[in-house]
Amino acid sequence: MTAAVNRKGTFVLSDPEPTRESGMDKQNVMRLRINRIALVQELRVEHILNHLIDTQVLSEEDLKKIHAGSSHSDKARILVDLLPGKGQHIDWYRSFREALQNPEAAQDIKKRYRLLVDFLDNTVIHRPNSQQSKFSELPNPRKDSFKLPKYDPLPNIKANGQAQNVLILDDERKQDEKEDNSLREVDEKDEKISMWSGTFEKTNDSVTLVKGYFQQWIPTPDNFRSLLTVPQEHLHQLGRSSDPADREQLEHETRALERIKKLEIVTVLARRKMLPTGFELCMCDIVQEIFREPQYYHLYFKYLKSLEANDVNLLQDIVTSFYSVLKSNTKQARNSESVKHFTSLAFQLIDFMTEYGYYTDAEKVMSVLMQFLSESHHLDIWMTKYRGYVKLMHLRNRNYNFLSASQAYQYAVEMTWQIKMMSFGQNIINEGELQNELSHMLLELGSINPAYSWAQSALKAVQETDKVVVVNTLCNAVMAFCARWQVKKAEKLAIYATQFAHHHFGKRNPLYLKALLHLCHFSTEFKQDESGLQLAMYTLSTAKKIYCCDTIELAFAHRAASKALMVCQRFDTEKYYYHAYEGLRIARRILTEDHPMLYLFLHTSASALQWKAFHASKESQDRTLALAEGEARKALELVIQHYGEVSLRTAQVYSLLGQVYSKMDRLQVAEDMLQTSVALMKLCQPSTSYFRLLAAATLGTFYKITEKPKECIMILRVVVDSIDSPGVYMKWVHTCFENLIHTLQSLNINKQVDATQIQLSHWLRDNPRLETVVSMTTLHEAPCSLEVFMGEFNSWEKRTKKALNFVKEAKTGDNQQ
pLDDT of residue 23: 60
Contact residues for 700 (Cβ-Cβ < 8 A; gap 6+): 711, 712, 715, 716, 719, 736, 739, 740
- Asked whether 227 and 274 are in contact (CB, 8 A), the reply is no
- Asked whether 458 and 471 are in contact (CB, 8 A), the reply is no
Please report, rounded to a whole number, the percentage of residues in the chain having pLDDT higher than 90.
Answer: 49
pLDDT of residue 584: 96
Distance CA 384, CA 373 (A): 8
Q: Which long-range contacts link 241-250 to residues 24+ away (Cβ below 8 Å)?
A: 245/506, 245/507, 245/508, 246/508, 246/545, 248/506, 248/508, 249/508, 249/545
- Asked whether 600 and 608 are in contact (CB, 8 A), the reply is no
- Asked whether 722 and 687 are in contact (CB, 8 A), the reply is yes
Q: Could you report the per-residue pLDDT of 98-118, keeping only the tens digit for each?
A: 888 888 888 778 878 888 887
Distance CA 415, CA 428 (A): 13
- Least confident piece of the model among 154-168, 204-218, 261-275, 538-552: 154-168
pLDDT exceeds 90 at position 595: yes
For the chain, helix (H) and strand (E) counts, in that order, are 37, 7
- Asked whether 368 and 326 are in contact (CB, 8 A), the reply is yes
Please report, rounded to a whole number, the percentage of residues in the chain having pLDDT higher than 70.
Answer: 80
Please, what's the b/e burial string for 224-236 (b: 16 or more CB within 10 A of its CB; e: otherwise)? bebbbeebeebbe
Mean pLDDT across the stretch 355-370? Answer: 89
In which band, very low, low, confident or very high, does the pLDDT at 2 lie, cut at 50, 70 and 90?
very low
Look at the alpha carbons of 588, 594, 597, 600 in this order and tell me if their dihedral is positive or negative: positive
Contact residues for 142 (Cβ-Cβ < 8 A; gap 6+): none
Contact residues for 569 (Cβ-Cβ < 8 A; gap 6+): none
pLDDT exceeds 50 at position 446: yes
pLDDT exceeds 70 at position 219: no
CA distances from 267 to 210, 296, 307, 309, 570 (A): 11, 21, 12, 17, 50
Most confident of 274-288, 302-316, 423-437, 599-613: 599-613
Query: Hey, which bits of 561-643 come out as E strands?
Result: none
CA atoms within 13 A on the CB side of 257: 15
In which band, very low, low, confident or very high, does the pLDDT at 157 lie, cut at 50, 70 and 90?
very low
pLDDT exceeds 50 at position 201: no
Distance CA 433, CA 472 (A): 9
Q: Could you report the per-residue pLDDT of 513-524, keeping only the tens digit for each?
A: 999 999 999 999
pTM beyond cutoff 0.75? no
pLDDT exceeds 80 at position 555: yes
SS3 12: strand
pLDDT of residue 410: 94
- Least confident piece of the model among 185-189, 519-523, 571-575, 619-623: 185-189
In which band, very low, low, confident or very high, does the pLDDT at 453 lie, cut at 50, 70 and 90?
very high
Mean pLDDT across the stretch 194-217? Answer: 42
Which helix (H) or strand (E) is 2 found in, with range?
A: strand 2-7
pLDDT of residue 771: 74
Q: How many CB atoms lie within 10 A of CB 275?
A: 22
SS3 364: helix
The two beta strands, 158-159 and 207-211, are: unpaired
Distance CA 251, CA 231 (A): 14
Most confident of 9-13, 149-153, 601-605: 601-605
pLDDT exceeds 70 at position 150: no
In which band, very low, low, confident or very high, does the pLDDT at 27 lie, cut at 50, 70 and 90?
confident
Of 216 and 527, the one with more pLDDT: 527
Distance CA 198, CA 684 (A): 57
CA distances from 246 to 273, 506, 535, 666 (A): 40, 11, 19, 52
pLDDT exceeds 90 at position 52: no
Q: Could you report the per-residue pLDDT of 454-492, keeping only the tens digit for each?
A: 999 999 999 999 999 999 999 999 999 999 989 999 999
pLDDT of residue 164: 32
Distance CA 731, CA 527 (A): 9
Contact residues for 403 (Cβ-Cβ < 8 A; gap 6+): none
Q: Could you report the per-residue pLDDT of 67-81, keeping only the tens digit for each?
A: 888 888 888 888 888
- Asked whether 806 and 767 are in contact (CB, 8 A), the reply is no
- Least confident piece of the model among 90-99, 593-602, 755-764: 90-99
- Least confident piece of the model among 156-165, 204-213, 350-359, 378-387: 156-165
pLDDT of residue 218: 59
What is the DSSP code string of 628-693? HHHHHHHHHHHHHHHH-SSSHHHHHHHHHHHHHHHHTT-HHHHHHHHHHHHHHHHHHS-TT-HHHH
- Asked whether 776 and 495 are in contact (CB, 8 A), the reply is no
pLDDT of residue 172: 36
What is the DSSP code string of 178-235? -S--PPPP--HHHHT---SSSS-B--SSSEEEEESSSEEEEEPPTT--------HHHH
pLDDT of residue 667: 94
pLDDT of residue 193: 28
DSSP 6: E
Please, what's the b/e burial string for 14-49 (b: 16 or more CB within 10 A of its CB; e: otherwise)? eeeeeeeeeeebbbbbbbbbbbeeebbebbbbebbb
For 77-141, give the secondary structure using H, E and C. Answer: HHHHHHHHHHCCCCCHHHHHHHHHHCCCCCHHHHHHHHHHHHHHHCCEEECHHHHHHHCCCCCCC
DSSP 523: I
Of 167 and 485, the one with more pLDDT: 485
- Asked whether 484 and 788 are in contact (CB, 8 A), the reply is no
What is the DSSP code string of 148-170? PPP-PPPPPPEETTEEPP----T
pLDDT of residue 88: 67
Closest of 54, 51, 52, 79 to residue 65, by C-alpha: 79
In which band, very low, low, confident or very high, does the pLDDT at 147 lie, cut at 50, 70 and 90?
very low
Of 553 and 728, the one with more pLDDT: 553
pLDDT of residue 754: 93
Average pLDDT, the chain: 81
pLDDT exceeds 50 at position 685: yes
CA angle, 112 then 114 then 118, to 5°: 120
